[in-house]
DNA sequence: CCGAATTAGTCACTTTCTGCGACTAAAGTC
DNA sequence: GACTTTAGTCGCAGAAAGTGACTAATTCGG
């Protein structure tokens, strides 16, 4: 391969940092330094030797001061769409952050998915990719737990699932499935949240591979 | 952002082309032009203006003379692992090809997944990513159909699923699930394959979004 | 102090889905 | 024509999921 010189930086790493705010998902944006009314996803050009994932966590740390509880690559985006940087391609990462620990630094702010600021086309595609990734790996990975504090009530957990699935769930069925999966462990603590009966606190209980050995489901989404 | 010059090409696009050969999946490799005993995944540095996916389909067309029936991005790979190119990052694409139409050009050959040639670390990671992608989107996307010719018998379809899932399926259950999903359409043709009763031919019947409205399943794989 | 309201947690019933064996059907083989 | 081989279906038993109604523990407003 002949060596050439390239004018643009090789690529950027962009982070779609997601938290649950109120009853919606929210995404972290950073205010553009030149045009003050423009916002964008936080991004960075990796240093030489820096891995992609390390670049993504650095972006997150610069924005929030904390590491996300879950980091996952969404993919590479390019295809001619505009980006704040001049690069052809950006690698997008999804980062999950529990809302309690997610105080944005100056210049950064959470925007609920419904009233997001206009983004450059490539970053818009990344946000869509991130929400799709959340939906599709929701029952493959402990997404919901990574958006909650380490201990939580089952009602909180159910609300989180309802938010992520955008669907109401039946309490008894939800708990039955939860029990069958051995996913949570009860603590010896209860929390009284104003009105009704106090709720027991639980924590996520990571488990050894218990592969669900089911038949085919054919839950196709695409044409 | 200050403009700089970069010594390496921005990135490569690599293709993991997969077909079903005999009772196993096979992956297409290309013989290295300098070291004749080395093989690698086919790859390419995109031209300016060429989209990532276009680069991937071009790689496939150069290798097989035909377009894959399914193309899907797996992700960006880098993280310091070695690659035939000198780039820091490669974007990997999965391409599915029915075995009937998949005659490799000179220099290319199919290798069953079991006896794959040794690959550069980054490409090895891509192959793993591809097999994971196949497994995980098997009931989200018509993967199996894209590895079969346009018309097929239900036994062939079942065998394809058994190959992909690496698990035996029960005939009646398989067909019941298939029927419930309205995924295939019977043709007015039968095919006699030597011995037993002739089998009816079917074709894939893409459907309008019939979202599976199920509850949560918690089929977690990870710890 | 008591009853209504509120939230947590469980139970039991019904419906649906799945695993599976056994059956019928249509070909080839000897 | 009996036997083998592959295709395709039926129907039951047990498991899983959907659902409403129930009990439990607390606050609030009198």
Task: Assess whether pLDDT exceeds 70 at residue B64.
Answer: yes
Alpha helices (H) in B152-211, listed in sequence order: 154-165, 171-181
Distance of B218 CA from D23 C1′ (whole Å):
28
A10 contacts in chain B (CB < 8 Å): 6, 8, 10-11, 87-89
Distance of A148 CA from D20 C1′ (whole Å):
30
Chain A 2-31 contacts with nucleic strand D (CB below 7 A) = none
Shortest Cα distance, chain A CAs vs residue B150, angstroms = 15
**Counting one residue from A and one from B, how many pairs have CB atoms under 8 Å apart?**
173
Band of pLDDT at residue B33, cut at 50, 70 and 90: confident
Q: Using the beta-carbon criterion (under 8 Å), do B177 and A217 form an inter-chain contact?
A: yes
Q: Looking at per-residue confidence, does A194 or B72 come out higher?
A: B72
Distance of CA B67 to the CA centre of its chain: 12
Q: What is the DSSP string of chain A?
A: -----BSS-S-EEEEEEEEEETTEEEEEEEE-SSSTT-EE--EEPPPTT--HHHHHHHHHHHHHSS--SEEEEEEEE-TT---SSS-S-EEEEEEE--GGG--PPTTEEEEEGGGPPP--HHHHHHHHHHHHHHHHTTTTS-HHHHTS-SEEEHHHHHHHHHHHHTS---HHHHHHHHHHHT-EEEEEEEE--SSSSPEEEEEE-------------------
Q: Using the beta-carbon criterion (under 8 Å), do A218 and B181 form an inter-chain contact?
A: yes
Please provide the size of chain B in residues: 223
State the pLDDT at residue A209. Answer: 47
State the pLDDT at residue B51. Answer: 93
B138 touches strand D (CB under 7 A): no
CA-nearest residue to B138 within chain A is: A218
Task: Assess whether pLDDT exceeds 80 at residue B8.
Answer: no
CB-nearest partner of A215 from B48, B169, B213? B169
Helix axes B171-181, B154-165, angle to 10 degrees: 100
Q: Looking at per-residue confidence, does A37 or A131 come out higher?
A: A131
> Mean pLDDT, chain B, as a whole number?
90
State the pLDDT at residue A10. Answer: 81
Q: Rg for chain A (alpha carbons), in Å?
A: 20
State the pLDDT at residue A218. Answer: 75
CB-nearest partner of A6 from B6, B73, B180? B6
Strand locations in B32-166 (E): 39-40, 43-44, 70-77, 90-96, 108-112, 151-153
Q: What is the mean pLDDT of residues A17-45?
A: 93
State the pLDDT at residue A212. Answer: 55
Nucleotides of C under 7 A from a protein CB: 5-12, 17-22, 25-29
Nearest Cα to Cα of residue B77 among B88, B90, B86:
B90
Band of pLDDT at residue A211, cut at 50, 70 and 90: low
State the pLDDT at residue B7. Answer: 52
Band of pLDDT at residue A145, cut at 50, 70 and 90: very high
Q: Looking at per-residue confidence, does A129 or A22 come out higher?
A: A129
Helix axes A154-165, A171-181, angle to 10 degrees: 100
Band of pLDDT at residue B221, cut at 50, 70 and 90: low
Q: Using the beta-carbon criterion (under 8 Å), do A10 and B10 form an inter-chain contact?
A: yes
Task: Assess whether pLDDT exceeds 80 at residue B34.
Answer: yes
- The Cα B74–Cα B80 span in angstroms is 18
Q: A5-14, A53-62, A192-201, B188-197: which has the minimum mean pLDDT?
A: A5-14
- The Cα B71–Cα B16 span in angstroms is 10
Distance of B214 CA from D19 C1′ (whole Å):
14
A53 contacts in chain B (CB < 8 Å): 79
Shortest Cα distance, chain B CAs vs residue A198, angstroms = 25
Band of pLDDT at residue B61, cut at 50, 70 and 90: very high
State the pLDDT at residue B10. Answer: 81
Distance of B101 CA from D6 C1′ (whole Å):
26
- The Cα B96–Cα B102 span in angstroms is 10
CA-nearest residue to B54 within chain A is: A79
Reduce the DSSP state of residue B73 to 3 states and report it.
strand
Do B171 and A222 contact (CB within 8 A), yes or no?
Answer: no
State the pLDDT at residue B202. Answer: 98
Q: What is the mean pLDDT of residues A109-113?
A: 96
Please provide the size of chain A in residues: 223
Q: What is the mean pLDDT of residues B12-18?
A: 97
CB-nearest partner of A215 from B52, B80, B173? B173
Q: Domains (ranges, CATH) in chain B? A: 12-136 (3.90.79.10), 148-204 (1.10.10.10)
Nearest nucleotide (C1') to the CA of residue A192?
D26
State the pLDDT at residue B95. Answer: 98
Band of pLDDT at residue B215, cut at 50, 70 and 90: low
CB-nearest partner of A220 from B78, B161, B181? B181
Task: Assess whether pLDDT exceeds 80 at residue A133.
Answer: yes
Nearest nucleotide (C1') to the CA of residue B194?
C28
Do B98 and B25 contact (CB within 8 A), yes or no?
Answer: no
Interface of A with B in 193-212 (CB under 8 A): 206-212
User: Could you report the per-residue pLDDT of A70-104, keeping only the tens digit for each?
Assistant: 999 999 999 777 888 888 899 999 999 999 887 99
Q: Using the beta-carbon criterion (under 8 Å), do B7 and A3 form an inter-chain contact?
A: yes
User: Could you report the per-residue pLDDT of A150-173, keeping only the tens digit for each?
Assistant: 999 999 999 999 999 999 999 999
Q: A9-13, A128-132, A180-184: which has the minimum mean pLDDT?
A: A9-13
State the pLDDT at residue A215. Answer: 65
CB-nearest partner of B218 from A7, A78, A183? A183
Percent pLDDT > 90 in chain A is 70
A191 touches strand D (CB under 7 A): no
């Amino acid at each position: 391969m002949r060596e050439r010189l390239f004018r643009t930086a090789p690529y950027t790493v962009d982070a779609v940092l997601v938290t649950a705010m109120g009853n919606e998902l929210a995404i972290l944006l950073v205010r553009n330094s030149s045009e003050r009314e423009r916002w964008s996803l936080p991004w960075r050009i990796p240093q030489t030797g820096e891995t992609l994932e390390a670049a993504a966590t650095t972006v997150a740390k610069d924005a929030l001061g904390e590491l996300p509880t879950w980091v996952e690559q969404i993919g590479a985006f390019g295809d001619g769409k505009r980006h704040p940087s001049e690069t052809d391609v950006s690698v997008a990462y999804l980062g999950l952050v529990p809302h309690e620990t997610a105080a944005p630094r100056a210049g950064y702010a959470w925007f609920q998915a419904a009233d997001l600021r206009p983004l450059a086309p490539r970053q818009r595609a990344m946000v869509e990719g991130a929400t799709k990734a959340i939906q599709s790996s929701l029952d493959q990975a402990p997404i919901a737990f990574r958006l909650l504090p380490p201990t939580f009530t089952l009602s909180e957990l159910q609300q989180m699932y309802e938010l992520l699935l955008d669907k109401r769930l039946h309490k008894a069925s939800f708990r039955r499935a939860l029990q069958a999966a051995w996913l949570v462990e009860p603590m010896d603590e209860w929390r009284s949240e104003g009105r009704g009966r106090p709720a027991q606190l639980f924590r996520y209980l990571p488990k050894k591979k218990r592969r669900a050995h089911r038949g085919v489901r054919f839950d196709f989404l695409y044409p």
